[in-house]
Structure 1
Amino acid sequence: MEKNLLNESYQSEEKVIDALLAEMFLDKVLRDVHEEKLRSQIDLSLQERDKEKFLRLTQELRTI
């Protein structure tokens, strides 16, 4: 009986760790996608010579 409880506890911890790793991975992917989008918008603002947009976007990029 005690072995079974230990095994269930271990499996529960494993699930928590798996969930945390999945969340961390998803956060990283979303952050990377957001960063790439900002970089594209920054490039476009440079092409358009839009200084205000460039400054706003580069500030946003620094915060992520």
Structure 2
Amino acid sequence: MDKMKATYEVMLGLAAEMVWDEALRKRRCDILYREIDTALAMGDETAFRNLTEELKSLA
């Protein structure tokens, strides 16, 4: 029974880590979208290209 409990705890930890990673990725994407909009509004092509490349790497 102890082995099953340990396995369950490990799996629960992995699931929590996956949820956390997805939340961080989603938050970064939201920030990037806002920064891309700002770069477009300011006409900053370099920032736009850098931000869109980072966004592509996250997707």
**Aligned-partner Cα distance in 1 for 2:26–2:13:** 20
**Correspondence for 1:45:** 39
Identity %: 31
The answer as to 2:18 corresponding to 1:24 is: yes
CA drift of 1:60 comes to: 0.7
Aligned residues, how many?
Answer: 58
Unmatched 5+ stretches in structure 2: none
Unmatched 5+ stretches in structure 1: 1-6
4+ residue stretches of structure 1 with deviation over 6 A?
A: none
Q: CA RMSD in A?
A: 0.4
- In 2, the alpha carbon distance for the partners of 1:34 and 1:11 equals 35
The TM-score, its normalising length taken from structure 2, stands at: 0.96
Bigger-Rg structure (1/2): 1
Write the distance in 2 (CA, Å) between the matches of 1:39 and 1:54.
Answer: 10
Q: Give the TM-score, by structure 1 length.
A: 0.88
Shift of 1:31: 0.3
